[in-house]
Amino acid sequence: MALIKYSQPNTDLFGKRFSDIIDEFFNDAVVNRNAEFSPRINISETEKQFVIDVELPGMDKKDIDIHMENGRLTISGERRMENEDNGTKFHRVETFYGSFSRSFHLPDSADEDSVSATYKDGILNVTINKSEQKMKKQIKVK
């Protein structure tokens, strides 16, 4: 039996020019960033409400969807890469593009009818009031 060295496709570095290797690397980086991404999210709570802040820089608010169903809040949307055919060749793209969807189960004390959202400076701010009827009450032991 003869041993044959396995050669992975696109790894023959000696048969390529350096500029071809760099172009392939950067073009693959651009292609791989177009599938989907997961925006960064901060969740906090005050005495009267829950607050969710979502980082969505460069997005238009018409591309953001917020749905509430059975105690589950879903924030989804799509960030599209502006691909004008003006001869621009990207050498590095670190911004994620594509669709996203994030879902959160709200606590029983959340008032599902009070969900409101604002979008300013690339930050989506979602607030959900707490229902005073459903909030836990402290019971003193006698």
Instruction: Report which listed range, 82-96, 107-121, 125-139, is most confident.
Output: 107-121
Q: Are 37 and 52 in contact (CB under 8 A)?
A: no
Overall average pLDDT of the 68-78 stretch: 92
CB atoms within 10 A of CB 73: 20
- Domains, the chain, with CATH or none: 36-79+97-134 (2.60.40.790)
- Collapse the DSSP code of 78 into the 3-class scheme (helix H, G, I; strand E, B; otherwise coil) and give the result: strand
Q: Is the pLDDT of residue 6 over 50?
A: no
Supply the pLDDT for residue 70.
Answer: 87
Order of all β-strands in the sheet with 98-105: 64-69, 72-79, 98-105
> Residue 41 to residues 23, 44, 55, 101: CA-CA distances in angstroms?
34, 10, 6, 12
Whether pTM > 0.75 for this model: the answer is no
